[in-house]
Amino acid sequence: MIKNLVEDHVTAAYATLRPHFPAFCGCDLCREDVLTFALNRVPPRYVSRREGSVVTEVNLEKEQSRAAIEVVVMEALRKISVAPRCGNRGGVMPR
């Protein structure tokens, strides 16, 4: 099974950062737009994973990679809360 490790990290960053963006809608469409935006901008880190075996994670835990992913996810959250495709602006827009 081939897996992009970055996907997990982007999803985790999304969960951490989302509460900081009250204007962000958060529906499935907006969530996927944020994840897609981020995943298209962060280089993938693929690993092959066999059922039941533990993979030594590619050095993605390095603070630097984590910070880089969070920056991209924040950018995505900002962009999509300004112009959500679903048309729901959620709450008060920060200026």
CB of 40 to Zn ion, least distance (A): 19
For residues 10 and 84, which CB has a smaller minimum distance to Zn ion in the complex?
A: 84
Q: What angle do CA 45, 47, 48 make, to 5 degrees?
A: 155
Q: What residue is closest to Zn ion based on CB?
A: 25
The CA dihedral of 48, 54, 59, 65, to the nearest 10 degrees, is 80
* Residues of this chain that bind Zn ion (CB under 5 A): 25, 27, 30, 84, 86, 88
Tell me 62's DSSP state: S
SS3 2: strand
For residues 47 and 86, which CB has a smaller minimum distance to Zn ion in the complex?
A: 86
CB of 26 to Zn ion, least distance (A): 7
CB of 27 to Zn ion, least distance (A): 3
Query: Do 30 and 85 meet the contact criterion of CB atoms below 8 Å apart?
Result: yes
